[in-house]
A and B are shown apart, each in its own frame.
Chain A
Amino acid sequence: MRSALQEQASITTLTATQSHINDVVNVAAAAKTFGKFEAVKGISFTIKRGETFGLLGPNGAGKSTTINMISSYLRPTSGHVTVLGMDTVKQADDIKERIGVVPQELALYEELTAEENLTFFGQMYQLERKALQARAAELLNLMGLYDRRSEPVKHYSGGMKRRLNIAVGLINNPDLLLLDEPTVGVDPQSRNAIFENIEQLKANGLTLLYTTHYMEEAERLCDRIAIVDNGKLIAIGTLDQLLALRDQSEILVQKPRGLEELFLQLTGKTLRE
């Protein structure tokens, strides 16, 4: 019955798909195995230009592995992934030039200042010095870190570090930004500040892939959401489409009040298990 629901969700996605030309990301039956462990078991979805696409699922669902395949960090064991029309295996360097990644870890040099971190990572994209300086200043302003740009990052709060982490992901003005659980360990106020930054990026037309295990984040930020669990795609669609699945399925005994309840009814467990 679950596979029937997944099929219906897939059908729902297909009917809503726009023209193939607007697909920034195309994941086609991508799977990733580490030894005997199947981290991702053949998932398929697309991300449209200007869309904020959410990957929602508990820890260990395969979200980070999926992002790693899309960013060309990992080769898919099977299937294939294209980003901006380019194959992630054969054209990894070209893809890396045009995407930005905000990893789950705070991947910053704590002894360097915010400005030095942005400058160094910007140099990896061979940005011209003046343009890089201007871009760094712009991002520091956007993230509300400009006044403390000359302090070592080790003196920053967790929320500030997370915002700088996002800024580094944007240093090359990417066409696609991948955010892997960017608010982990952050207080509600800083989290809200991050949401506002992301909403602003959205408003500017940036295509975003956002992974999280917090359903309220997915509900607030994402245009479409894919629910993943155990390496499999469980359901995909807009929030309304997902919540409306009750009408099309025998599994859902009542209309879910939110994504968490939907997830519980689909998988038999909560997002935090």
Chain B
Amino acid sequence: MNRLFQVAMKDLTLLWKDKGALVYMLVVPLVLMAILGSIFKVDSSTDSFSVPLAVVNQDGAASKQFTNVLSSTKVLKLEFVADEAAAKQRLSDVNNSVPAYIVIPAGYGAALEGQGQAQLAVVKTPGNDARAAAAESIVRDVVNSYNAVRTSRAAAVAAYKQAMPNATADQLQAVGLAAGSQAQESLRKPTASISAQEQKQEGPTPSGFDVVVPGYALMFALFAISNGAGSILEEKEAGTFKRLLLTPLRPWALIGGKMFAQYVIGVIQVALLLLIGIVGFGAHAGNLLGLVLLTLAVPFAATGLAMLLVSLVRSRRQLASVSTLVVLGSSALGGAWFPLWLLPNWMQGVSRVTLTSWAMEGFNKIMIFGKGVGDILPNLAVLIVYGLVCYLIATRLFRARSEEVAA
């Protein structure tokens, strides 16, 4: 056992002497976390949610009230442009596009008051853009409410005229205005209404960093551990692997020592990245004991997986290709890049074969949903079993390939 730890210490010493590698192991994931965590910020304030809408107003002042009503929804952010060509340009602007624009034709304001016919055009970006759909829906609601008020007014005037055939024009106008006001009031305070609420969750409001910090810590730990495990192949190529087996060092102690070194490196890396993510980027820590247990369990599984990958390949070049595929694939599938629940159900099922999905579910439970240690016990158990199974398979494969006399 002593020799196992001495092998591990040697690997840790070699890493310590490579200061550049140490810096990259921390700096690269932190930079990515900072960028992506800021992009995927979650904000519960509706004030910050708005849909820009370009407006081509060919009706001038006659439609000013209409555009004021659109602005008063607080969701639509109107941008008035000179003509439809400019609006099309805004639609296709790569850097700062709008999801839709409307063209208010001449005479539309009068049509809203019941004078003449006019049709407003809503032009949206192709595809299922939720913002464009929201903009269209709001514009339709406003137009429909205008139509509803006008219809109420016309119906009231018609009914009064029928009841009072001798009513004067002023009287009819007063009835129409009163009916219109009543219709507008009904729209503002309907008798049958709906209310929409956000379910408040326990604990603080989650941020994008709550996903990005553990996700990228996990992904880069997987990369680091895989590369580190590849040192077995490097030692085989250099001849030191054989030299070590010419000493009384047993093969299991040699591989175990290298695994232990990678495990220690993984724990330190994940712990440091989580710490900086929590202290520096404001990710939520949640239950600290749960976080610590995950920080210990995840590198264990990752080290087992790395050893399995090393046992399947014959060169560092092969390992680089295989580990890139496995790490990126499991990171995407496993929720390291975006929350698992955004994936289709069938893909969420498939992701269960990755250690990433179990690890990220554990981190999400702790950091986003405010759960405790009891809730992540299944995740911890799976991660430990995952690591053990990978290690056992790797050991068998190493032994099968070896020609040494392992007495």
Contact = CB atoms under 8 A, between A and B. Distances in A.
B407 A90 contact: yes
Interface in B242-256: 242-250
B20 interface: no
Contacts of B13: 112, 116
Interface stretch (B2-10, B39-47, B193-201, B209-217): B2-10
A171 to B, nearest CB: 9
A209 to B, nearest CB: 14
A92 B404 CA distance: 10
A103 B248 contact: no
B98 to A, nearest CB: 57
B17 interface: yes
Nearest to A171: B247
Contacts of A112: 10, 13-14, 17
A109 B16 CA distance: 14
Contacts of B93: none
Nearest to B18: A111
Contacts of A97: 248
B247 A125 contact: yes
Interface residues of B, number: 25
Contact of A75 (B10, B14, B250, B405): B405
Contacts of B31: none
B246 A96 contact: yes
Q: How many of chain A's residues touch chain B, expressed as a range?
A: 20 to 34
Contacts of B169: none
A203 B5 CA distance: 38
B6 to A, nearest CB: 5
A13 interface: no
The majority secondary structure among interface residues of chain A is: loop
A116 B14 CA distance: 11
Contacts of B2: 123, 126
Contacts of A116: 13
A124 interface: yes
B239 A89 contact: no
Contacts of B404: 73-74
Interface string A112-138: 100010001101111000000000000
Contacts of B3: 123-124, 126
Given A120-B10, A124-B3, A103 B243 contact: yes
B239 A88 contact: no
A93 interface: yes
In this complex, which of A103, A106, A108, A124 has the most chain B Cβ atoms within 10 angstroms of its Cβ?
Answer: A124
B405 A92 contact: yes
A105 interface: yes
Interface in B10-25: 10, 13-14, 17-18
Contacts of A103: 239, 242-243, 246
Interface in A94-112: 96-97, 101, 103, 105-109, 111-112
Nearest to B17: A111
B170 interface: no
B324 interface: no
B248 A109 contact: no
A91 interface: yes
B407 A91 contact: yes
**Central interface residue in B10, B243, B406, by most chain A CB within 10 Å:** B243
Given A92-B405, A112-B14, A101 B246 contact: yes
A71 interface: yes
A60 to B, nearest CB: 18
A105 B247 contact: no
A122 to B, nearest CB: 9
A112 B250 CA distance: 22
A207 interface: no
Given A71-B246, A124-B6, A124-B249, A108 B240 contact: yes
Given A73-B405, A124-B244, A124-B247, A111 B6 contact: no
A111 B14 contact: yes
A72 interface: yes
Of A91, A101, A109, most B-chain CB atoms within 10 Å: A109
A73 B240 contact: no
A72 B404 CA distance: 8
Given A74-B404, A111-B17, A111-B18, 9 more contacts: A75-B403, A89-B405, A90-B407, A97-B248, A109-B10, A109-B240, A123-B2, A123-B3, A124-B3
Interface of B: 2-3, 6, 10, 13-14, 17-18, 238-240, 242-250, 403-407
Leading 8 A-B pairs by shortest Cβ distance = A105-B239, A107-B239, A92-B407, A107-B243, A124-B247, A123-B6, A101-B246, A92-B405
